[in-house]
Amino acid sequence: MKDIRRSHGDLHFWILLLTIYILTYYPSSAFAHVERGQATGFVTGLQHPWSGLDHVLAMIAVGIWGAQLGSPAIWLLPVTFPMVMSMGAMMGLLGIPLPGIEIGIALSAILLGAMVFGELRPKLVIAAVMVGFFAVFHGHAHGTELPAGQSGLLYSMGFVIATGILHGMGITIGLINRWPAGKIALRGAGALITIMGVTFLWKALT
Amino acid sequence: MNAQSRKNTALLVTIASLFCPSTAAAHLVTTGMGPVYDGIGHLLLTPEDLVPVLALALYAGLRGAVSGRRAMFLLPLAWFAGGLAGSTIGVDPLFPMSAISFIILGMLVAADLRMQDKTVAMLTVCLGLVHGFLNGAALRDGAGTLGLLGIMAIIFISVALASAFVVSLRRPWMRIAIRVAGSWICASGILMLGWMAKGHM
C-alpha cells in the first residue's frame, strides 16, 4: 500500500515538473505595442455579441426554441438568423434608418422567451419569419459597431461566428427538453428571458 | 542515483531553465521565405480568398466525392491561369468580387443545393479564374508567378482536406453543421458588401 502511494506521489511530481517545463518553453509573443490593425477586428467581432445581455438572451432563446420545435426548425432558425441579421446590419451600414431598434430588440427577448415558455409550435414559416424579423433589429444595432482601424470583414466574421455559438449554446441547453424536468426548466428559462425582455423594454421606453 | 536525488536534480535543472529566457519576439521578423512561401502565406492570411476556397471545398464535398476530386484539381489550375492573366493585364476589380463569392458560395452551402457535377466544375473554374485574376494583379510587383505556384499548392491542399472531410461525414447533423457554416459565410459576405459600400474596406 505504501509503495503504491509512493509511486502515485512520484507520478504527481513528474507531471508537475512536465507542466512547468511545457509552460516555461511555451512563451507567448511579447505584446510590446497597443493592439491595432486587421487581426484585432476578428477578436472584437467575436467579443461584441457577449457584451449585450439583450443580444445574448435573444440568441439563446432562438436556439432553445429551435430545440423545442425539433427538426428542421432546430437548424433552420439558426441558419435564418445570421443571414437576415447581416441584412439588417447592411441597412445600418448603408444609412437606412430603422425606427425603434431598442424596442425591437426588447420585444425579441419578450416574444422569443414567451415562445419558449409556452412551448408554442407555430408553422415553420411563421417561426422563421418571426426570427428573421427580429434578426434585422439585432443586426442593425450591433453589426455596425466597428471600432476605428479594424477590418470590417474580420469583425463581421467574428460577430457572425459568436452569434452562431450563442445559438449553439441555446440548442445545447434545449436538448434537455427530452426529459420531463428539462421541459419545466426550459419553460422557466423562457419565462426568465421574457421578464428580462420586459426590463429591456422598460429601459428603452423611459 | 536514488529517487530523491533524481528529484533534486530535476528541480535544479527546471529552476535553472527559468533563468535562461529566450529572446522575446516583439517585432515582425523579415520573412526571407521566398516567393512560393509568400504565396502560401498570402492565401492563408487573406480571408477574402481563403474563405471562398473553403466554401467551395465544402460545397463540392456536400455534392460528393466526384465533385470534390474535380474541385481539388480544377480550382488550383483555374486560379493559376487567372493569376497569369491578372499579372499580365493587372486591372483593379470594378466589383466587390470577394463579397459576391462569399454570398453565392455561402448560400449554396447553406441551401445544400443539388447541382450536377459538371455545373460544380464550372463554378469551380469561374471562382478560380476570377480570384486568381485578382491575385495575379495584386502580386504583379511582388511574389509574381512563383507566388501563384505557392497559392496553387495551398489551394490544392485546402480543397483536398476540406472536401474529403465533408465527403466522409455520414451523420445527418454533421452535414447540417456544414450548412450552418455556409450561412455564416453568406452572412459575412453580406456584411462585407455593406462595409465596402461604406468605404471601410
CB atoms inside a 10 Å sphere around CB A29:
8
Average pLDDT over residues B71-88: 93
Residue of B11, B183, B195 with shortest CB distance to A156: B195
pLDDT at site A1: 57
- Residue reference for cell 418571426: A130
pLDDT digits (tens, 9 = 90+) for B41-65: 889 988 999 999 999 999 999 999 9
- In angstroms, the separation between the Cα of residue A10 and the nearest Cα of chain B is 9
pLDDT at site B119: 94
pLDDT digits (tens, 9 = 90+) for A143-185: 667 666 677 888 888 989 999 999 999 999 998 988 889 899 9
Domain ranges of chain A: 39-205
Residues of chain A with pLDDT under 50: none
Percent of chain B residues topping a pLDDT of 70: 90
DSSP letters for B66-134:
HHHHHHHHHHHHHHHHHHHHHHHH----SS-HHHHHHHHHHHHHHHT----HHHHHHHHHHHHHHHHHH
Residue B32 pLDDT > 60: no
Residue B28 pLDDT > 80: no
Residue B29 pLDDT > 60: no
ipTM of predicted complex: 0.74
Which chain A residue's Cα is nearest to B48? A153
pLDDT digits (tens, 9 = 90+) for B149-190: 999 999 999 999 999 999 999 888 888 889 999 999 999 999
Considering only CB atoms, which chain A residues are within 8 Å of B188? 86, 153, 156-157, 160
CA dihedral A30, A33, A38, A43 (to 10 degrees): 60
pLDDT at site B94: 66
pLDDT at site A18: 82
CB atoms inside a 10 Å sphere around CB A199:
14
Contact A94 B195 (CB under 8 A): no
Residue of B10, B47, B110 with shortest CB distance to A153: B47
- Tell me how many residue pairs between chain A and chain B have CB atoms under 8 A apart: 110
Integer Rg of chain A from CA? 22
Among B17-31, B69-83, B141-155, which is the least confidently predicted range? B17-31
